[in-house]
Amino acid sequence: MSFPPKLAALVDLFSSLSEMERRETLIAYADQASSQEPRQGEVFDLEDIRKDEECTDTVAVFLRVEEGRCHFRITLGKQVQTLTRAMSAILCKGLDSLSPEEVLAIPNEIVKTIVGAELVRVRSQTVYYLLTRIKGIVRLWLKNHTPQTGK
């Protein structure tokens, strides 16, 4: 399957790595997660802020749609796991400027290609978490912006 260019570049990068290199690259992306936080003065169409005290800490997803293209920002609590932090940096970059429909069409299996089968096997709940949240906010935006057809 072909992916949009930014995402394809990331998929190609991760596909070429050994398991050890993949983990190191994920950690490097996790270290960049704070660069995806909202900038001062930015305005968003939707914000989805959730805190699960027991498992994930706070994960806030922000969506701005300009001229039909999505832009994401993500804020993460201090206790958020490394994989989730890595996926926030990867997905904010890889999904930037896609249309809402394109975001929803991204197969969940792309996560497996990026993080590798081994990490999916041992932490499947964590690795899919952020893509699910991103698709959720996009789905809500689409619902709010789809003309209602009355009978």
Partner 1 sequence: MSIDNNYARPDALVTTAWVAEHLKDQNLRIIESNEDILLYDTAHIPGAVHIDWQQDLQDQTIRDYIDTGAFAALCERNGIASDTTCVFYGDKSNWWACYALWVFRLFGHEKVKIMDGGRDKWIAEGRPLTREIPEYQPTSYPVPKLRRDEEIRAFYDQALAQSRHGAPLIDVRSPGEFKGLVTHMPEYPQEGVLRGGHIPGASSIPWKQAVNTDGTFKSASELRKIYQEDLHLNPDQDIIAYCRIGERSSHTWFVLKYLLGFEKVRNYDGSWTEWGNRVGAPIERSI
Pull the structure tokens for residue 145. 């912006």
Q: Is 15 helix (H, G, I), strand (E, B) or coil?
A: helix
Find, among 26, 133, 17, the residue nearest to 87 by Cα.
26
d(CA 90, CA 94): 6
Tell me: does residue 30 bind partner 1 (CB under 8 A).
yes
| By the rule CB under 8 A, 43 interacts with partner 1 | no
Single residue of 89, 95, 119, 138 touching partner 1 by CB under 8 A: 119
Minimum Å gap between C-beta 40 and partner 1 is: 29
Between 25 and 99, CB nearer to partner 1: 25
Q: Does residue 14 contact residue 120 with C-beta atoms inside 8 Å? A: no
Q: Is 26 in the site for partner 1 (CB under 8 A)?
A: yes
User: Is 123 a binder of partner 1 (CB under 8 A)?
Assistant: yes
Please identify which residue in the block is written with the tokens 């991760």. 14
Which C-beta is closer to partner 1: that of 99 or that of 140?
140
Which of 3, 7, 14, 23 binds partner 1 (CB under 8 A)? It is 23
Measured in whole angstroms, how far is the alpha carbon of residue 103 from the centre of its chain?
10
What's the DSSP call for residue 31?
H
- Specify whether the CB–CB gap between 111 and 103 falls below 8 A: no
Of residues 32, 82, 97, 113, which one binds partner 1 by CB under 8 A? 82
Binding site for partner 1 (CB under 8 A): 23-24, 26-27, 30, 52-56, 79, 81-83, 86, 119, 122-126, 128-129, 132-133
